[in-house]
């Protein structure tokens, strides 16, 4: 499945648009567009794809994406069940590429904003403290119009530009103009992992999905994700385990098995490696919050 081009209508008299999205699940496909996009997740969880990067997202997630960067948010499986009462809610701000290419570069005061917009070419995820600080301003963008909305956006971007905890998402060597075949290959690999991480997955299986020899696939995967296939797979499994420990009545052993860990001791070791505590202590801490 290749990334689809999305045409965004800002209107004749607007350089940005702000949307409040409230759906049973996020339904936008793997896509890209010429506009910048700032997306705040008010309610929902799942996995976020940005370029060659994928990681779990939850409520409170905030990312800035640059023009032409493929992306989509995929909710967890429970959102797609016929009897699900879950909702996927977000605030999405999309603004013209000309803001970063033409207008702001002419103003010396906007240098910090330009640095942020340049990083956005690879996607930027912001830290929790900064997100808590700017969340009220995001809500305000929904209620104002015209020049006031634009000025509030610029001030919001100025605040985000000072976030020392912000993290770049797509890898440094990610090719923003990758061929359709290359984009489709990586999407196919990540989709397969999301669909089958609860099962045993061998490198040979992944190499077959990618249409590559096993050794070539391992090099390809590490180059694009900065992690080995096994490291990435374990992160997906542990992310799912955290959710099950909080949201289900399964025992610790059952959670491990449900997440693809056939060896419970290995599950405990991996969980502690990623979370700094055991599954039981993590569960207890979350329930006592």
- 3-state class (DSSP) for residue 110: helix
What pTM does this model have?
0.69
List C-alpha distances in Å: 46 to 15, 69, 72, 74.
30, 20, 11, 6
Please give the pLDDT value at position 1. 46
Please give the pLDDT value at position 187. 74
Please give the pLDDT value at position 97. 86
Measured between alpha carbons, how far is 17 from 150 in angstroms, rounded to an integer?
Answer: 10
Question: β-strands 4-5, 31-32: how paired?
Answer: parallel
pLDDT in tens, the chain (289 residues): 455 656 566 665 778 999 999 999 998 888 888 899 999 999 999 988 888 788 889 999 999 999 988 888 989 888 988 889 999 999 999 998 888 777 787 878 888 888 999 999 999 999 999 999 999 999 999 999 889 999 999 999 999 999 999 999 987 766 655 455 566 777 788 788 888 899 999 999 999 999 999 999 999 888 777 788 999 899 889 988 988 898 888 999 999 999 999 999 999 999 999 889 999 999 888 777 6
Measured between alpha carbons, how far is 36 from 63 in angstroms, rounded to an integer?
Answer: 11
| 134 contacts 156 by C-beta, under 8 angstroms | yes
Q: 180-196 and 229-247 are packed helices; what angle lies between their axes, rounded to 10 degrees?
A: 50
Please give the pLDDT value at position 285. 84
């Amino acid at each position: 499945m290749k990334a689809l081009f999305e045409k965004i209508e800002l209107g004749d008299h607007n350089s940005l648009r702000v949307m409040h999205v409230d759906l049973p699940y996020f339904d936008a496909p793997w896509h890209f567009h010429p506009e910048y996009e700032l997306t705040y997740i008010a309610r929902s969880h799942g996995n976020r794809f940005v370029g060659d990067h994928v990681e779990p997202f939850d409520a409170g997630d905030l990312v800035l994406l640059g023009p032409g960067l493929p992306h989509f948010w995929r909710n967890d499986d429970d959102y797609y069940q016929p009897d699900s009462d879950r909702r996927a809610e977000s605030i999405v701000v999309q603004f013209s590429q000309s803001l970063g290419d033409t207008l702001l570069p002419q103003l010396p005061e906007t240098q910090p904003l330009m640095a942020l917009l340049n990083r956005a070419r690879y996607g930027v995820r912001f830290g929790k403290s900064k997100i808590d600080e700017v969340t009220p301003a995001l809500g305000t963008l929904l209620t104002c119009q015209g020049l006031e909305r634009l000025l509030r956006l610029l001030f919001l971007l100025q605040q985000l530009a000072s976030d020392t905890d912000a993290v770049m998402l797509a890898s440094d060597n990610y090719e923003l103009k990758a061929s359709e075949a290359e984009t489709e290959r990586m999407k196919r690999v990540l989709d397969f992992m999301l669909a089958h991480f609860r099962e045993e997955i061998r490198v040979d299986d992944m190499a077959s999905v990618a249409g590559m020899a096993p050794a070539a696939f391992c090099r390809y995967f590490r180059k694009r994700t900065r992690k080995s296939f096994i490291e990435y797979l374990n992160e997906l499994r542990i992310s799912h385990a955290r959710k099950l420990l909080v949201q289900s009545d399964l025992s610790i052993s059952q959670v491990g098995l449900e997440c693809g860990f056939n060896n419970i001791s290995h599950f405990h070791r991996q969980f502690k490696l990623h979370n700094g505590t055991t599954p039981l202590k993590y569960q207890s801490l979350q329930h006592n919050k």
